[in-house]
Amino acid sequence: EVQLVESGGGLVQPGGSLRLSCAASGFTFSGYWMSWVRQAPGKGLEWVANINQDGSEKYYVDSVKGRFTISRDNAKNSLYLQMNSLRAEDTAVYYCAREILGSGRWFDPWGQGTLVTVSS
């Protein structure tokens, strides 16, 4: 069974840092692009960042550029999101998702999410 399990969320003060992890199982992790998507409380989905199979390509939404870093460790089947200089507006559930590339690309499956709360 393909599974993604996020961890690392929690309460952090504005300006602080947090590192999220996503453990993948049930598929060849090194063969897929991976993404982070977030959802603020009561709000819609927002794509945050993605990374290619060997980590040589990374893309970010403008609002996190320079503050967040996506990375992966294929030997550990793990995806990471290092979040620095956190702001209140970064408060959200963060999901990791596998990207499927075909004619177009889509997310399947998604993890259960981990909640990040930025507050003093």
Partner 1 sequence: SYELTQPPSVSVSSGQTASITCSGDKLGDKYACWYQQKPGQSPVLVIYQDSKRPSGIPERFSGSNSGNTATLTISGTQAMDEADYYCQAWDSSTGVFGTGTKVTVL
Q: Work out whether 1 is an interface residue with partner 1 (CB under 8 A).
A: no
Selected binder of partner 1 within 61, 69, 71, 74 (CB under 8 A): 61
Q: Which stretch binds partner 1 (CB under 8 A): 17-25, 68-76, 78-86, 94-102?
A: 94-102
The tally of CA atoms less than 13 A away on the side-chain side of residue 1 is 5
Q: How far apart are the first and last CA of the chain?
A: 40
Contact call for residue 45 and partner 1 (CB under 8 A): yes
Q: Which two tokens stand for residue 74?
A: 């294929």
Ramachandran region of residue 51, left (φ > 0), alpha (ψ -120 to 50) or beta?
A: beta
Is 44 a binding residue for partner 1 by CB under 8 A? The answer is yes
Smallest separation (angstroms) from partner 1 to the CB of 9: 14
Per CB under 8 A, the list member of 8, 9, 27, 59 interacting with partner 1 is 59
Give the residues lining the site for partner 1 (CB under 8 A): 35, 37, 44-47, 50, 59-62, 95, 100, 102-113
